[in-house]
Structure 1
Amino acid sequence: MKTFANVFLGLFILKSVVAAPPTDTINYDTDTYEVDLEELDNLYDYDESLTVDQAQIEIGTVLPVVNRPILSPEQVPEDIEEGEESTPKLIDGSSPQGPLSPGVLGPETSAGISTCLLCTCIGKTVYCDEHNLDSVPLLPKETTHVYLRFNKINKINKNDFAHLNKLQKIDLTSNLISEIDEDAFRGLEQLNDLILRDNRIRQLPELPNSMNVIDVSNNRLGRQGIKQEAFKDMIDLHLLYLTNNNLDHVPIPLPDSLQALHLQDNNIQEMHEDTFCKMKDFSYSRRALEDIRLDGNPINLSNTPQAFMCLPRIPIGRLI
């Protein structure tokens, strides 16, 4: 019985071995893959001995490079070594993006600093207040408005604004200006507003006839500081502020467009009857001039009542 059992067990094992799957090596055809298996293995190969020094890892923010031009090999300067970046330099404030667009630094000042890096350029306006400047910086040629307030500028030279033919407003409030070249503003045909208050100016230079606003308050013009008929041909002049300048007269003739004339705190002692009106033409009316300030002057307005007949309002000042 034991022998029969052994024979049966042997036959069962033999049958199982015959039915088992083959153990031969299977060869895969790599031509059916888009990527060679050997290349794929090399792609992810790495050096197990590589170590990382944590102290050398710097965490920061990488700023994107905006609008950097792509240079062809022929355009790359010869003095730039391989691997070194080239940054285009702007000379006159212009760029492919347009004048004074974001990122344009403008021309360099005498100190070698770009104007729009030293100051603030927004659109075509340059703000350069409180920078301890002792002269007018070189401005981008497309500038229309410039603010140079609260600096230490002591002189306005002939060429400070000569190249700015689109300039519309200059504000030089609270500087140390004592001298202005006679031709400093002459060629600025689009200049409308000129603010020179709180300086030491003794002579007002020739101004273009395009002026709308002139403010030279708190200076030292005196008797000879304003030329004869300086404002006569300024047909668009609206505001003229000459407060506290030790003037002894009203600078006539004044254009009919004038709306406000501030002459307070001067040394004006008398006024002619034709200062504002035309005594020989009783039909003449100066309706635009509604604000005349003569307070703080040693003049009695009651002495020349006919001088105000053509005005919509009596000037502010001493009446007795």
Structure 2
Amino acid sequence: MRMLVRLALGLFVLKAVVAGPRFSRQVDLDSYDNANYDVDLDNLNLENQDIYDYEDGLTIDDPQIEIGTLAPPDYNYPVPEASLEQEVEEEEEEEEEELPQTPQLIPQGSGGSGVLMGPDTQKGMPTCLLCTCLGGSVYCDDLKLDSVPPLPKDTTHFYARYNRITKINKSDFAFMNKLKRIDLTANEITSIDERAFLGLPELEELVIRENHISQLPALPETMSLIDGSHNNIGSKGVHKEAFKDMTSLLYLYLTDNHIDYIPVPLPDSLRSLHLQRNNIQMMHGDTFCNLKDFNYIRNALEDIRLDGNPINLSRTPQAYVCLPRIPIGDLI
């Protein structure tokens, strides 16, 4: 019975020792000379403490370090390198900053120096700075010009109204292959070179009203409008058959001159003929119609102005039978 009690007590003590927290760590029991259950607990705890501290990498003599008291090491984080495209852009920006910015001239002139804003004028400035250039149109109105300024080659419409131009030279419009309209209203022009406009293959409209012109110059066959009103054009101021071959002519205005005849033959394309306030005294029967062909009808010519002339329209009624309307003028 006593043996059973000791055996039960021994198992209880062994179970308690095995369940202890420090027993989980393996202890080399062979290092003890006398291994029994009656060991010195103080020495055993000290030895176990030495083993525990050593396994944690520290000895009893090592200084204790409190976690969190050391300063973090200084790291030099690497800066990401710029991409190849960014490097190229930066180099281009540096080059642009180093290069001086100089304006570049665009040649636009004709027949002149060909600098920016058109060729230079006699006033020492480019035409498109003196005048106003919009697309192919050049406006030089009311600038007190005494001559035609050199124009850009691409000029299509030229306006120089209300100036002091006295003469039109052959060279004023030389090589202007795109020029379609010239308006020189209200200048002081007394003479025009006979071939000043013949070298213009695209010319369609010429307005030279309110000047002092006595001779109408030769004009290309491409004309659609001619306005020479309010001038000094006399009986010899219009070339013989001057308008015969102008198959695109629509408007012919020669009012307030000194013309004493109707400048025939007139092209069939003509729509409007203004000859009022001249010196026309008579008209032939075939001026507008074909007396040999009574079926001929001139439908285009709807506007004929002969008022203000010393002519009696009632004396030549056969001259109007092919017209859609009778001319305006005196019938007495």
- TM > 0.5 between the two? yes
Checking the alignment, whether the CA contact within 8 Å between 2:107 and 2:116 is kept in structure 1 is no
1:113 aligns with 2:129: no
The match for 1:93 is 109
The aligned residue for residue 144 of structure 1 is 156
CA positional deviation for 1:33? 3.6
Residue-by-residue CA offset, 1:39-72 (whole Å, 9 max, x unaligned): xxxxxxxxxxxxxxxxxxxxxxxxxxxxxxx9xx
Equivalent residue of 2:252, what SS?
Answer: strand
CA distance in 2, matches of 1:294, 1:234: 22
Q: Secondary structure at the match of 1:160?
A: helix
Q: After the TM superposition, which residues 156-167 of structure 1 pair with which residues of structure 2 at under 5 Å, given as runs?
A: 156-167=168-179
Cα displacement (A) at 1:85: 4.1
The structure with more radius of gyration? 2
- What is the Cα deviation at residue 195 of structure 1? 0.7
Do residues 277 (structure 1) and 323 (structure 2) align?
Answer: no
1:280: Cα distance to partner?
2.2
What amino acid is the match of 2:149? Answer: P
Secondary structure of the structure 1 residue equivalent to 2:173: coil
Written as runs of structure 1 = structure 2, the 5 A alignment for 1:23-102 is: 27-30=73-76, 32-34=77-79, 85-93=101-109
Structure 2 CA distance for aligned equivalents of residues 246 and 190 of structure 1: 30
Aligned residue runs from structure 1 range 224-243, under 5 A: 224-243=236-255
Query: 1:298 aligned to 2:310?
Result: yes
- Please, which runs of 5 or more residues in structure 1 have no aligned partner? 1-17, 36-69, 74-81, 95-102
Q: Secondary structure at the match of 1:129?
A: coil
Deviation of 1:89 (Å) = 2.8
> 1:40 maps to which residue?
none
For 1:229 and 1:140, how far apart are their aligned partners in 2?
A: 34
Deviations 1:103-151 (A, max 9, x none): 9612221222111111111111111111111111111101111111111
| TM alignment of 1:216-227, pairs within 5 A | 216-227=228-239
Q: CA deviation at 1:179?
A: 0.7
Distance 1:278 1:21 in 2: 123
Q: CA deviation at 1:252?
A: 0.7
Q: Is the 8 A contact 1:262 1:292 kept in 2?
A: yes
Q: Runs of 5+ in structure 2 lacking a partner? A: 1-64, 81-91
User: Does structure 2 conserve the Cα–Cα contact (< 8 Å) formed by 1:90 and 1:106?
Assistant: no
Aligned amino acid, residue 103 of structure 2: T
Between the aligned partners of 2:230 and 2:260, the Cα distance in structure 1 is: 15
Q: Which amino acid aligns with 1:318?
A: D
How far apart, in 1, do the equivalents of 2:163 and 2:241 lie? 31
Q: Sequence identity of aligned pairs in percent?
A: 57
The one-letter amino acid paired with 1:219 is N
* Residue-by-residue CA offset, 1:7-38 (whole Å, 9 max, x unaligned): xxxxxxxxxxx9696476x54121x1418xxx
**Alignment partners' CA distance in 1, 2:158 and 2:185:** 11
2:267 corresponds to 1:255: yes
Q: CA deviation at 1:90?
A: 3.7
Aligned to 1:261, what secondary structure does the other structure show? strand
2:116, 2:126 within 8 Å by CA — same for their partners in 1? no
Please give the secondary structure, in 2, of the residue aligned with 1:146: strand
Partners of 2:215 and 2:106 lie apart in 1 by 37
Contact kept in structure 2, 1:125 and 1:143, CA below 8 Å: yes
Alignment RMSD: 2.5
What amino acid sits opposite 2:179 in the alignment? Answer: L
Pairing 1:140-219 to 2, within 5 Å after superposition: 140-219=152-231
Deviations 1:237-280 (A, max 9, x none): 00000000111111111101100000001011111111111222
For these two proteins, the number of residue pairs brought into alignment is 251
Q: CA 1:189/1:21 → structure 2, altered by over 3 Å: closer, same or farther? A: closer
Is the CA contact 1:90–1:107 (under 8 Å) kept in the aligned structure 2?
no
1:303 CA displacement? 1.1
Which whole-Å CA distance do the structure 2 matches of 1:238 and 1:258 have between them?
4
CA distance in structure 1 between the partners assigned to 2:182 and 2:120 by the alignment = 20
Contact 1:149 1:173 (C-alpha < 8 Å) held by counterparts: yes
